[in-house]
Each structure stands twice: as structure tokens, then as C-alpha cells.
Structure 1
Amino acid sequence: MRTLTRSLLLLTTLGLAGPAAFAQKTYLHCGRLLDVRSGRLLTQQTLVVEKDRIVAVQAGYTAATAQDKVVNLENKTVLPGLIDCHVHLESQQSRSSFTDQFTLGPADIAYRAQGYALTTLRAGFTTVRDCGGSGVNTALRNAVNRGLVPGPRIYSAGTAISATGGHMDEGDGLSADMMEKLGHPSNIANGPDQCRQAVREQFKRGADLIKIASTGGVLDLSPNGSGPQYTEEEIRAVVETARDLGMPVACHAHGPEGIKRALRAGVSSIDHGSLLDDEGIALFKKSKAWYVPTLIAGKSVADTARRHPGYFPAVVAGKALSIGTVMQGTFGRAYKAGVRVAFGTDAGVYRHGQNALEFGYMTEAGMPPLEAIRAATLNAAQLLGDPTNLGALETGKYADVVAVDGDPLQDISTLTRPRFVMKAGVVYKSE
């Protein structure tokens, strides 16, 4: 005993004792564990977590030592932390959304975004790709990474790049005087040279990826949400510059021509893809790009426009009804044709925290529950470029864990009611 005591004192003096020498482990006893790679539900499994990683997956309920912790999930189904590849954490659609851009400052946006981030995490989404904001999204990513605020792991696109008059042009619908005061925002780019400069600007500001819009959108004040807004040459300039800087490119696109130009130019994903045609489907399969469908966004805006006249400006309501109502059918055709799908919802267009409703819309369109879950785990991890750390409950990956009641392979709606959420070894929800 004296020898052990002296040894501990020596280790402490050398800085080797404490958490590093006797790291506490957490043992998650899982009644059912979904192996997303094989598609099997494994019974009576133990996930061993040390710091932020899964260090073992063991059959049976492994006994823990006195200094370790056991989490009883023996009556739950456990699966990897979910990934949403299209969110906007800075905002949430409301009647005041248009005026908010004139009344809220960066600090207001930051406080609000922190709340939306925590809501998203507690809904079971441990990783997200934020597809465009004011730059607060990148600052929020940094704050989460430093442990200053709780939130999902964030891949930030910074500020999305748009053509003049395009979907992310903040001057759309404004008077000439207001447009003059706005000046020329750095995210507005026309022609290949400006497109290259805009990519480099987002890189300088710390973005993880580039987001562009090759067509109009639903919620902007432009009259047409489907027409192309970038040439193929402009998109290729974005893609090539981003590739040189090690950044993938996500492309907002509704109309068929804008989709096809972006696919030919080499974007990593098409987000929305509402009016995708057969030629576009063939290009998807040839290019190996990912389709991020955001069905809940289409459902949400169409339903709001139909049920609440006057909620949106007339030009927005018309686009919501014409585009939002066709997205689910388009997705069903694309999936059945073999297009690669990664899960994404456009959270912020609807209420944050309801992301998992997307699973129901995907399965309604013909995607089996297991494939929908893979879209939000294995597939999403590939799109994010980090399958080594994300997307499955496997040794060496981040300890991102969600537990639900019931069997999501039989009832996908169970994913809308997570009972337990762990991100990187830290528990954020336990009921």
C-alpha cells in the first residue's frame, strides 16, 4: 500500500495522475443497438465511451468498475447521432422574418442562434451543416467547438454566394434608395472572376464549405424561384476555386436547368432539387453528387401559404404553393432511380427541433426506414467528408449517441421523440 501511495504521489508530481491516468469511462447498456452499416438491430450491447470517443462496442452488458459510470438504456433503441446537412441556425421563419433583417443586430442573432442550436441538439441532431447566414453561424461553430455554448457540431457555409437579384441578394424587393445604402455585399458575385473572389472571401472568414444558389428561391422577393441565375462557367469557377481551398460546394437549386448546370460544373450537393427532371437524374448518377431534399421545408411553406393568407407576401405565397407541393414527388422519383441521398431539412424555414419529421416524409415517398436513417448517418458523414469520425456507432468514432423508445425500423416517428442524446461523450438529454 505504501508503495502504491508513493507511486501515486510521484505520478501526481509528474502530472501523469488524474484524468489521464485514471480516465473515467461511461458504459451505455443498450437494449437494442442499430448497426446502420449492416442494417441489423443488435440486442444487449454495451457502448464504452472514453472522453469524446467510442472505445469499444461489446456484446452483453459489460460490468463497470467503481470509478466508471453506467447509463441504462436497456429498454431503448440506440443509434448514431443524427446529421442534418441543411440548416440555418441564425433564424426561424415567422411573420416578422422580413423586418428582422432591419431590426436585429449581430448580437441579437447570436443569442437567438444559440437557443436554436441547443434545441437542435436536444432533438437528436449532433452534427449539422449550416448552409448560410450572416457569419454568426461561423462564430457559433467556434463557440461550440471551444465549449463556450452547447450545440451540435457545426459545418458552416458562412454567407451564401448569390448572383445580383438572386436568392441570397438582400436587396431583392427593396427600394432604389435602400439598395444604394446596402451597397455591394461581398456575397454577391457576377462573372467567373467575382465568383472566385467571393469563394476566397468566405474561405478567409473561416467557412467550412461554400454555398451558392444557381436558381431563385421560394422565400425571397424575386418573382421566379425556378429560373437559372448562374451560368455553368460561373458555377465551375466557384467549384474549382473551392476545390483548390479544400472546400466542397453545396448548391441551392429548384429549377431543372439550374440543377443541371450545377451538376455539370461539379458541385458536391444539390439542395432542394424541387423540379428535377430525368436528364438531371442521369447527371446526378454520373457526377455522384448528393441530393439533399429538404421535404419538410416544402411542406411547411406550402401549408402556411394555404392555411394563413397574408402570412407571406403574395409573390412568396405563389412560389410556396407551386414549388413546395411537388418536392416530395420529385424526391420519390430520384430515390427510386438510384440518386444518392443525404438527409437535410432547411431547418429555420420551419421550427427548429422538428428536423426528424423529414424521416416520415422520406418514407412516405418510398424510401425504407433504414435507408432514411442511413441518409442521416452514413451518407451524411460522407457528404461532410468525415466518415472516419461520424455516422455510425463504431470504435474510434465520436461518441454521438441517440436513444428512442420502440423500433425506428418499424415506426420511423420514434425518431421525433429522442429520450437520450449524447454528443462527443457529453449527455445533453436524458429522460
Structure 2
Amino acid sequence: MCLSCIESIEAGIEPINPCLCGAPATQAAMQRIEADISRRRMLGGMSAVVGMFAGFGLAPNDLRAQTPGRATVLTNLRYFDGSTPEMQTGRDILVEAGRIVAMPASGTGPEDADIIDCGGRAVTPGLIDCHWHATLVGISQVAALTQDIGWVHLMAGREAGATLMRGFTTVRDTGGPVFGLKMAVDQGAVTGPRIFPSGAMLSQTSGHGDFRMTTALPKAAGEPLDYTERAGVAAIADGRAEVLRRTREQLMRGASQIKIMAGGGVASPYDPLDTAQYTLDEMRAAVEAAADWGTYVCAHVYTPTGIMRCLEAGVRSIEHGQLADEATIKAMAEADAWWSIQPFLADEDANQYSDPRSRAKQQQVAQGTIRAFESGRAEGVNMAFGTDVLFNPTGAATQGRQLGKLTRFMSTFDALRMATGDAGRLLEMSGERSPYPGRLGIIAEGALADILVWDGDPASDLDFLADPETNLRLVMKGGRVFKETL
């Protein structure tokens, strides 16, 4: 408002506003000016952040952004499109403005484009991990519960860069304080994958997301939140009203889907695997609140009882589920639900536990893993790949190798599709809550340009995924090249 307007108001006089300071056109102009100031401040702040992060190895290492106004053509390649079970040839991939805009016949792309010669190598869509914990993967559980939260987030930023360099250009984060990391990655301050955030995991008291010590019980009304709740790792909610509140809080913060704990877990010492967690009414509260925002609920659960309750409540994605029986697997197929499943085999790549109770539960889950993969595929359940590496600083590096293990249960192309085209279909359930408009996990016209170039032959095996440092020759995310050793 101009000075004359202010003086008139202070004098008790209805102002005649010749300056039109309240007019829509004026307000729009002011908003543009404020946006420009904010942008300049953000860029300055980002420069400072990037400088600070450089000491931790977090500064972006974008090797080749597209030349403004010019397209990029990937040529001389064999490609898996994320769906068709074969390697295809005879096409180039034309990328512009972060998307694949065409798949012209080899050698027929625009002459003025930037050319990337793939040397006859294999090209795949960027990989997708549908069960990842970006903030909790690269540190121990003790560190997560005791260290300064700033340090925790810096370690998460470092791991995000490593995740992208393994070829995982997108992750669905299924629980943890990841909103800040996602923002830093999206703004280019930190290198990392696209992140579909769930926010805090919703858990009942005594559930898989209740990290409190028994010495903290009982909790009286009005007492402060536990550290993990304050940090945004978990949200303890009992009863319909509290579940609605906590669900809406995560949506307010930007969750693309909601994660609930619907049964016992391996890592947690107080909840046996056979326990059912959350009543049907509580689950429905989360499902209804998510549906009001056009998105869905995914649920940590292993047992038939828990899975059936989830399906009845309208949960759309079952996380883990290795103890499902035949009737439950059929019910998942009939409900057209997704099964976000991991190769939990209690092998050298498994999460490590010192508690004998956790090790016993881990063995029980491993025994059900083989049957789960075989029966799920036989019944035609929608299945997507995830790893759920958790509190395991060395285990994160096994991400690609764990994808390769799926060839124990299926063909190489079916395994690769679980981490590309099929995983992209699961992500589409976020609808308008998706942070990244556009198709993921496929190489096709109109899809987001997340593209990998490999030394290896997906038609024969996926062993090359285990050593991305050597075998992954190019990483492109959104049309930007973050690694190239062609």
C-alpha cells in the first residue's frame, strides 16, 4: 500500500486510491517482484549450501546438462523399454526438456542435437526402489536414535548421491524425515534420486514404529513426544481421531503416499511377527484421509491376518508380506493390490541384527520369501521391487545386487521390469500427489528422461547390476547426465 493510502487510513478517511495498489494487476506485479527476490535469495542460499555440502561429497556433479535450446540424442544402442521382454534395436532416443520426446529410427534424429554414442551398449530406464528409507539406510539404529539430527541428514545426503550412482534414479521412501532431503535434491543442491516421500511411519502404541524404551512407559496425556516422533521418523497414533490427525499432517508436509504399520517386524524387539496392528477402523481412517487427497496407503505387514485386514480397509500396497498363505495371495490378486516385495533371504546381504529374537524372525521371513515370489507370480499379483535396507551403512551398496537376485524366481526381463515399468505403475497411484508429473520406469515417447547405459547384457543375466561403479557407464536423470564413462 502506498504512503498516501496509509496516511488516509490513519486519519480515518476512506482513501481514494489513485495508485491502484490494491488492484489485481498491481498485486500480480508485486507477486512477481517478490518471487524474483525470493528466487535470488534462494539461489544465493543454495550456493552457500552447495559450498558447505562440498566438504561432505554432496555437491551436485552434473556432468552434462543439455545445451539450452538443443536436444540430446542417444544413439548406437540396444534398449529394454521397461515393459517388452526383449532388447530392442534400430532406434535412437531423443531427449529434450527433461523428457523423451521421440524414438526416431537410428541416425535420423536432428543434426543439431548433442550426440551421445552408447557404443552398442545396453540401455535401460532408470531403476526404481519401491521400499527405501533414504534417511535411515546409511546409519546404524543407535546413531539414528542418538546422534544430532543435522548429522543424520548430512549422512542421508551423502547416501542419496551414492544411490543415484548405483542407477536408482527414483525411490519410494517408506518412512522417515525425508522431506528436506527431497527438497534439496529437487532444487539441485544435493545429488540424488527422485523421492516419493511417505513422511513419518504411522504406528500404534507397541507397533513396529514405536521405538520407545519400555522405561518410557506409561505415557501420560500431555507429555512431550518421543525423539523419533519429534524427528519425523514415526508418528504414534491410537484411535481413529489420532490416525486422521497424523495422516493429515504427513499429507500437509508433502507425502505422496501414507505408510502405516499393520503388523510385527524383524528389527523391532517388542512386537512379534504374528501380531496384528491397527484395528480395521483405524486403518480405514488412514485410507479415507489419503483418498481425500487423491492418494493411497501402503502397509508394513507380513501375516495373512494382517494382510487380509489391510485389503478390507482399502490399503493399496502390501509391503513385505512374505508370510502370506495361498488364500491371502489370491485375495491380493482379486483386490488388484500391489505387492512391494523384497528378496529377504537371510544371506550375506541381509540387514544384520545382534538381538537373537530379531535373527529368529529374520529366518522365519526368509523361509517364506521363496514361496511368496513363486505364488505371487503364479496368481498374477502386481509386484514391484524394493530392498528395505535399514540401519545398514554397508548394505546400501548391495541395492543392485539384490535386484539381480530376483532372477532366482523369474526371467531377467521380468526381474528388471519389477524395478522399472511395473514400479512406475505403482508410483502412478499417487495421482496428483506425485511430485514428478510424467511417466517413470519406461523408455517411451513422453516419459521422463531417466536413462542408464550399461556394460552387460540383460538378456542373459543381471550380474552386471552388482558392480555399478564399473558397469554403469552413463546415468541420466531428467535429461541431465550425472555420470558418463563412455
TM over 0.5: yes
Partner of 1:3: none
Pairwise CA distance, 1:301: 8.0
Residue among 77, 80, 83 paired with 2:128: 83
Distance 2:192 2:369 in 1: 29
Q: 1:125, CA displacement in angstroms?
A: 0.9
- Output the CA distance in 2 between the equivalents of 1:20 and 1:299: 44
Amino acid at match of 1:399: A
Matched, 1:138 2:182: no
Structure 1 segments (4+ residues) deviating >4 Å: 19-22, 177-182, 300-305
Question: Which residue does 2:95 correspond to in 1?
Answer: 49
What are structure 1's unaligned runs of at least 5 residues?
1-18, 306-310
Code of the aligned partner of 1:355: Q
**How many matched pairs?**
400
Aligned in 2, Cα 1:63/1:98: closer, same or farther, shift over 3 Å? closer
> How has the CA–CA distance of structure 1 residues 354 and 202 changed in structure 2, closer, same or farther, with 3 Å as cutoff?
same
Does residue 420 in structure 1 map to residue 470 in structure 2?
no
Tell me the residue number matched to 2:404: 360
Between the two proteins, what is the percent identity of the paired residues?
Answer: 34
**Which residue of structure 2 lines up, in the alignment, with residue 338 of structure 1?**
380
Corresponding residue for residue 167 of structure 1: 208
Provide, for residues 301-326 of structure 1, a one-character-per-residue CA deviation record: whole Å limited to 9, x for no partner. 89566xxxxx5222222222222343
Mapped to 1, the partners of 2:93 and 2:411 lie a distance apart of: 26
Q: Equivalent residue for 1:23?
A: 69
| Equivalent residue, structure 2, for 1:13 | none
Matched, 1:314 2:314: no
Q: Which amino acid aligns with 1:364?
A: R
- The match for 2:442 is 392
Amino acid corresponding to residue 57 of structure 1 in structure 2: M
Q: Distance in 1 between matches of 2:126 and 2:349?
A: 30
Q: Check the 8 A contact 2:206/2:271 in 1, yes or no.
A: no
The alignment status of 1:34 with 2:80, answered yes or no, reads yes
Q: For the Cα contact (< 8 Å) 1:211–1:250, is it kept in 2? A: yes
CA contact (8 A) 2:78 2:122 kept: yes
1:372 aligns with 2:421: no
- Counterpart of 2:105 in structure 1 is 59
Which SS does the other structure have where 1:326 is aligned? Answer: helix
CA deviation after TM superposition for structure 1 residue 124, in Å: 0.9
CA shift in 2, pair 1:391/1:148, >3 Å: same
Q: CA deviation at 1:427?
A: 1.1
Q: 2:390 aligned with 1:348, yes or no?
A: yes
* Mapping 1:19-418, distance limit 5 Å: 23-62=69-108, 65=111, 68-92=113-137, 97-133=140-176, 135=177, 137-171=178-212, 173-176=213-216, 183=225, 185=229, 187-296=235-344, 298-299=345-346, 311-348=353-390, 350=392, 351-365=395-409, 367-385=410-428, 388-416=438-466, 417=468, 418=472
The alpha-carbon deviation at position 293 of structure 1 amounts to 0.8
The residue matched to 1:419 in structure 2 has which SS? strand
| In 2, Cα distance between equivalents of 1:268 and 1:277 | 18
Q: Deviations over 1:158-189 (max 9, x none)?
A: 11100101001121x44237977764647111
Which stretch of the first structure deviates more once superposed, 137-146 or 327-336?
327-336
Quote the Cα distance in structure 1 between the aligned partners of 2:349 and 2:95.
Answer: 43
Q: Cα 1:69–1:380, aligned 2, differ >3 Å: closer, same or farther? A: same
State the distance in 2 between where 1:20 and 1:195 align. Answer: 45
Letter in 2 for 1:39: P
Tell whether the 8 Å contact from 2:66 to 2:480 is kept in structure 1 after alignment.
no
Gaps of 5+ in 2: 1-64, 432-436
- For 2:424, the aligned partner's letter is A
For residues 231 and 285 of structure 1, the distance between their equivalents in structure 2, rounded to whole angstroms, comes to: 23
Once residues 256 and 239 of structure 1 are traced to their aligned partners in structure 2, the CA distance between those partners, rounded to angstroms, is 19
Alpha-carbon shift at residue 79 of structure 1 (Å):
1.2
Deviation at 1:406, TM superposition (A): 2.6
Scaled by the length of structure 2, the TM-score of the pair is: 0.77
Question: What is the alpha-carbon distance in structure 2 between the residues aligned to residue 304 and residue 201 of structure 1?
Answer: 30
For 2:109 and 2:173, the matched residues in 1 are separated by: 40
Q: Which amino acid aligns with 1:142?
A: M
Q: What's the offset of the Cα at 1:262? A: 0.5
State the 1:63 CA deviation.
6.0
Query: C-alpha root-mean-square deviation of aligned residues, in Å?
Result: 2.5
Q: Deviations over 1:327-379 (max 9, x none)?
A: 233222211221110111113355224222233332212x2221222211221
